[in-house]
Structure 1
């Protein structure tokens, strides 16, 4: 196996499992992924005004969009950025055809994308952080600080390693043993879904990326969900103070 954080490796994994990703994720997380997406949206500070435009980074199947558009029904547009065209294609075919006029897709490595500075009122990301290593997280933090408008908001969530929780051994057993077993026996896959467990335990939690975002001057709140089985960061890019004009 090569570098599991190499963009082309990540793309190949998610392209191969895109057909069954939605069902597998929902069933094997016992519905928690859907709950956590909803909580990620709820954690996002209020959007600045109507017609907001923003990015869903590592957008995958776009399963967060219904929650986002329910809470903020006046969102003007969502630009989904993902390295896997397979994931997005399946998302639009199966879930989001009626939202197509509000969704733009960019197939690209997020960290190599040329997103314009101060172009986003919001940034959201669900379950994509684990596919980056620490150096890539630092680049993502810089990207977020660059693309958000002053006053713009963000929220991101990721499955995490619940260190300190007394049921952690069972959680890790589920990720590292049960999920690969399900894939081998029922899905006859190429161990792609098993990578989810590897990425999640390697990721740890979102505390490190929270610190990176704060270093770029962003206002950040770090949150644990369900005993730390998921962690998230949410906040805003602080608008500069406007000096009162001299009389």
Structure 2
């Protein structure tokens, strides 16, 4: 059983968790979100501000199973490369096997803790991230904000989206019950007693929403827009690095 203790934001813990989840992640996340994860991935790409130049390189941070790649490549058909950065080798192998065998010429992969990676400065036209923010604490979000600011080219754009705690929504108690009670029960019954996906509820409620990250990104000199999606069940931050 997964131990949701102090170490849940430790990179080794996160890698082990998602390596175990990788074979069931695509189906479980789609079915248990009732399709909203796919909708929010599309909205993430749609929210990317227009870049000043034709984008050539996109970084997908905490890339997981790479389900955002088709949306990115549809909007930017002339994109030369999507560089996927993820700590879990299991998630990436699942992505290539299940979704993207025909796109392997455009997909590069870095298996690494994104916050410890050596991404070159001013090397990305686009940066996206879907459903990886919740696995970071506030200090790690600060490092992510610094990485985003340093990695984006001038005029480059970004969008990050994450499942969030919809505080103030009158149906929030039902939503939290679903995250913390229903999903673990589904996992217990259909995934032979595993408790890994039950961490989604813990991570999401600990995360809150993306408003703190928005402030951290602004402090790094980026133009930032914060949005709520479906009453705050997901939130996003998008924007660009200003042209000097």
TM-score (norm 1): 0.96
The Cα of 1:75 is off from its aligned counterpart by 1.0
Give deviations 1:46-81, integer Å, cap 9, x for gaps: 234335102000000000011111111111101000
Assess if the C-alpha contact under 8 Å between 2:55 and 2:126 holds in 1.
no
Query: What is the aligned partner in structure 1 of residue 227 from structure 2?
Result: 223
Match of 1:131 in 2: 135
Q: Tell which structure's C-alpha radius of gyration is larger.
A: 1
1:37-116 correspondence runs (5 A) = 37-50=41-54, 52-116=56-120
- After superposition, the C-alpha distances for 1:90-145 in whole angstroms (9 at most, x for unaligned) are 10001000000000000000000011111111100000000000000001000000
Query: Which residue number in structure 1 is paired with residue 205 of structure 2?
Result: 201
Aligned to 2:163: 159
Q: Is the 8 A contact 2:30 2:38 kept in 1?
A: yes
- Aligned CA RMSD, in angstroms, stands at 0.9
* Structure 1 residues 51 and 232: CA distance shift in structure 2, 3 A: closer
Tell me which residue corresponds to 2:36. Answer: 32
Give the alignment partner of residue 191 of structure 1, picking from 195, 207, 216.
Answer: 195
Hey, what's the Cα distance between the residues in 1 that align with 2:97 and 2:229?
31
**Secondary structure at the counterpart of residue 61 of structure 1:** coil
Instruction: Tell which deviates more after alignment, 198-207 or 183-192.
Output: 183-192
Counterpart of 1:4 in structure 2 is 8
Q: Which runs of 4+ in 1 moved over 2 A?
A: 47-51
Name the SS of the counterpart of 2:232 in structure 1: coil
CA contact (8 A) 1:53 1:75 kept: yes
d(CA) in 1 for partners of 2:204 and 2:165?
A: 7
CA separation in 2, counterparts of 1:33 and 1:101? 26
For 1:50 and 1:207, the matched residues in 2 are separated by: 29
Per the normalisation by structure 2, the TM-score is 0.97
Q: Show structure 2 runs of 5+ residues with no match.
A: none
